[in-house]
């Protein structure tokens, strides 16, 4: 099955194909993108939250298709005389001018894991519509109620947003780490790739070992996380083709249920992947160069196409945005890791 799927499902390269990739092409940003299914003004909505952190900037971008987009700085400007402070903003929804939402946020005491752009605790992001809380992320609900004027429990009881997918850029030489919540349970994810072997660890326990990566640089296997069946996809062609000097990115996907919801890449994340794709030049007229030029979004990489086809039995070749709007609340979840090798 695997051998027959590779030629068709990996027609679009998601990694550079030349050994010219160097450490200068490794990004200097930590990027985490999550897509949630929630409601805004009682209408089903998909919210994409992108956490971005580099040497000089740290921000959160919230995007609702056809409604609004806003970027919130998580740290004060270098030239600011004041520290970070709680904020809020009223927004009239695009195409729905009679509807107004209000965003609230507070990152003044937010705690972050090492090098992570996404806070672990002591923060909140909230959206209200007509004095009703419709989206809440964080752990400072009481502080939000004091600021927003939502005083009754029925007003502040948040609708728990469904996290449909999480995409993260991780960095390392052999070991890459992330965290994920599979159907309500938090887990530590570890990937080790070196010496021709790929190891996947969940909560410190080895769940999968793939040997002879020179031959098995792309593939998929089922693993179990807390008794839950997870489909795992990997694509390390860039590392294998460039040998030990390759510094590009591998792609790893963990898919639970009817996953395959890939938020569209925007802003710094799209630029980052485009830079990676253009860092090597494919021979003129080759299928690789034609595929790269015809691809509108780096999120349409080969391993993602394969994961999409696997989740719906190969019946659909729809784009990521179409799948995002049609998946619905089915308990599916996808974790996508771009693993960047650094010396």
Residue 241: predicted pLDDT = 79
Residue 155: predicted pLDDT = 58
Residue 81: predicted pLDDT = 43
Q: Output the furthest CA–CA distance in the chain (Å, rounded).
A: 65
Note the helical H segments in the chain. 2-9, 141-148, 153-156, 237-242, 268-278, 287-294, 302-311, 320-327
Residue 298: predicted pLDDT = 40
Alpha carbon distances (Å) from 261 to 14, 34, 329, 330: 17, 10, 11, 11
Write the pLDDT tens digit of every residue in 269-313: 777 667 665 653 333 333 333 223 323 334 345 666 666 666 554
Low-confidence ranges of the chain (pLDDT < 70): 1-27, 76-84, 95-97, 151-159, 242-247, 259-268, 272-273, 275-331, 343
CA distance 20 to 260: 32
Residue 159: predicted pLDDT = 66
Domain annotation for the chain: domains and CATH numbers: 25-159 (no CATH), 163-263+331-342 (2.40.128.180)
Write the pLDDT tens digit of every residue in 148-196: 777 655 556 666 788 888 999 998 889 999 988 877 788 999 999 988 9
CA distance 32 to 35: 10
Residue 15: predicted pLDDT = 36
Residue 105: predicted pLDDT = 94
CA distance 178 to 160: 23
Q: What is the pTM assigned to this prediction?
A: 0.77
Residue 11: predicted pLDDT = 31
- Which among 59, 107, 57, 113 has a CA at the least distance from the CA of 84? 107
């Amino acid at each position: 099955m695997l051998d027959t799927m590779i030629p068709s499902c990996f027609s679009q390269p998601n990694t550079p194909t030349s050994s010219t990739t160097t450490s200068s092409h490794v990004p200097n940003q930590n990027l985490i993108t999550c897509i949630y299914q929630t409601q805004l003004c009682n209408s089903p909505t998909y919210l994409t939250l992108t956490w971005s952190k580099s040497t000089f900037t740290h921000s959160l971008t919230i995007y609702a298709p056809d409604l609004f987009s806003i970027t919130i700085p998580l740290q004060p400007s270098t030239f600011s005389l004041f520290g970070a402070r709680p904020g809020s903003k009223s927004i009239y929804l695009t195409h729905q001018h009679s509807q107004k939402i209000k965003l609230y946020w507070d990152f003044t005491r937010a705690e972050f894991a090492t090098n992570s752009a996404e806070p672990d605790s002591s923060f909140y992001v909230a959206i209200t519509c007509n004095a009703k809380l419709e989206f809440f992320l964080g752990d400072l609900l009481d502080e939000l109620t004091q600021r927003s004027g939502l005083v009754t429990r029925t007003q502040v009881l948040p609708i728990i947003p469904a996290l449909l997918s999480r995409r993260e850029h991780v960095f390392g030489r052999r070991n890459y780490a992330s965290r994920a919540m599979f159907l309500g349970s938090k887990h530590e994810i570890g990937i080790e790739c070196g010496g021709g072997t790929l190891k996947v660890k969940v909560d410190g326990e080895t769940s999968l070992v793939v040997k002879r990566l020179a031959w098995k640089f792309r593939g998929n296997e089922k693993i179990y996380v807390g008794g839950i069946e997870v489909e795992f996809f990997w694509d390390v062609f860039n590392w294998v083709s460039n040998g030990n000097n390759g510094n590009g990115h591998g792609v790893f996907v963990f898919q639970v249920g009817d996953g395959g919801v890939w938020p569209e890449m925007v802003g710094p994340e799209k630029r980052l992947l485009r830079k990676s794709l253009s860092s090597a030049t494919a021979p003129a007229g080759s299928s690789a160069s034609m595929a790269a030029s015809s691809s509108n979004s780096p999120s349409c990489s080969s391993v993602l196409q394969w994961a999409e086809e696997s989740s719906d039995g190969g019946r659909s070749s729809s784009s990521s945005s179409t799948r995002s709007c049609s998946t619905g609340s089915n308990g599916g979840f996808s974790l996508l890791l771009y693993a960047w090798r650094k010396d």
